[in-house]
Amino acid sequence: MQNTGQATSTLSTDSRSIRRRLDLQASALMVLFCIVLGAQQVAIKMVAADISPLAQVALRSSLAAVLVAALAWWQGIRLRDMRAQLGPGILVGLGFAAEFLFVAWGLNHTLASHMSVFLYTAPVFAAVGLHLWVPGEQLTRRQWIGIALAFGGMVLAMAPDTDIDNAGDILWGDLLGLLAGLAWAATTLVIRRSSLSEAPPVQSLCYQLTVAGLLLLPATVLLGDVGRIQFTGAAIASLTFQTLVISFAALLLWFALLRRYFASQLGVFSFLSPIFGVLFGALLLGEPLTINFLSGGSLLLIGLVVVTR
C-alpha cells in the first residue's frame, strides 16, 4: 500500500507539466463522456415517478462517495491528505451539491432535453472565467468565435415552440438549469485556481460526492421524498447507471482529463452533451425533434471544430 501511495505521489508530481491541447485520444474520450452525461437527465426523468429527482441525486452521490473513498484509500490517499486541502475541497463540494440540487429541482418543471441544454452552458461561463483568472487558459480570437457559434447553435437548437404547454413552468425549470450550469462552472474555476488542480482526480471527486451526500440526503428526508421511494426494476437500473457510470466512472474521467488538457477546450467540447441529451429525450421520452434542433446542432458542431482544431 505504501508503494501505491508513492506511485500516486510520483504521478501527481509528473502531472505538473504544461497542459496539452486536445489530441485524438482525448477527443474520443470526451465524446464518450458527453454521451454518458447526455443520458443523465433522461435517466433521472424516466424514473421520477418512482424516486424523486432529488432523492436520486442524493442516493447516487452517497453510494458513489463510498466507492470513491475506497478507491482513494487503495491509491494511498489518507485522511491527512484530505485535511490538507479541506478548504477548496469543501468549496467544490458545495458547488457540486448546488449544481445537482438545481438539476433535480429543475427536472420537476422542465423537459430533460431542456435541462441538458441549459446545464451545459457551464463551459461558456467556465471558459470566460478561465480566460480571466487562470494563466495559460486564454482564448484566441478564433476560439471566441467558435464559442459564439457553439453557443448560438445551442440556443437555436432549443428555440421554444410557441405551441408548447406549461411554458411558464418550463421557463422556471430552464432557469434552474442555467443556475446549475453556473454552479458547475464555479466548481471548475475553484479546482483550477486551487491546489486541487494537481491533486489526484479521485480526491477531488471524493470531496464533491461526500459533501453532496451529506447535504442532499437530509434535504431529501426533510422534504418527505424518502417515504415515497419505490424500488422498481427501472428505478434500480437507473440508480445503478447513475452511480457506477455517471457519478463514479465518468466524473473520474473528467477530472483526469482536466489535469492533462486545457480546461477551456475540454469544456467547450462538452457542448456535444446537450445534443445527445436531446436525442435520448426524443428516443426514450418521446420529446420532439424540431428543425431548430437539427440546424442548431449543425452550427454547434461547427463551433466545436473551430475551437478545438
Report the alpha-carbon angle 251-254-255, nearest 5: 90
Q: Give the per-residue SS3 of the chain.
A: CHHHHHHHHHHHHHCCCCCECCCHHHHHHHHHHHHHHHCHHHHHHHCCCCCCHHHHHHHHHHHHHHHHHHHHHHCCCCHHHHHHCHHHHHHHHHHHHHHHHHHHHHCCCCCHHHHHHHHCCHHHHHHHHHHHHCCCCCCCHHHHHHHHHHHHHHHHHCCCCCCCCCHHHHHHHHHHHHHHHHHHHHHHHHHHHCHHHHCCHHHHHHHHHHHHHHHHHHHHHHCCCHHHCCCCHHHHHHHHHHHHHHHHHHHHHHHHHHHHECHHHHHHHCCHHHHHHHHHHHHHHCCCCCHHHHHHHHHHHHHHHHHHC
- Distance from C-alpha of 146 to C-alpha of 88, rounded to nearest angstrom: 31
Query: 73 pLDDT exceeds 70?
Result: yes
232 half-sphere exposure, CB direction, 13 A CA radius: 11
Which one is predicted more confidently, 10 or 115?
Answer: 115
pLDDT band at 187, cuts 50/70/90? Answer: very high
Task: List pLDDT tens digits, range 77-102.
Answer: 988 889 888 999 999 999 999 999 99
User: Which CA distances in Å does 229 have to 42, 106, 169, 240?
Assistant: 18, 19, 24, 15
Task: List pLDDT tens digits, range 140-152.
Answer: 888 889 888 888 8
Task: List pLDDT tens digits, range 244-279.
Answer: 999 999 988 887 887 788 866 776 676 778 888 888
Task: List pLDDT tens digits, range 25-34.
Answer: 888 898 899 8
Rounded to an integer, the average pLDDT of 211-231 is: 92
Portion of the chain with pLDDT greater than 90, in percent: 37
Report domain extents, the chain: 24-308
Phi and psi torsions of 264, nearest 5°? -65, -40
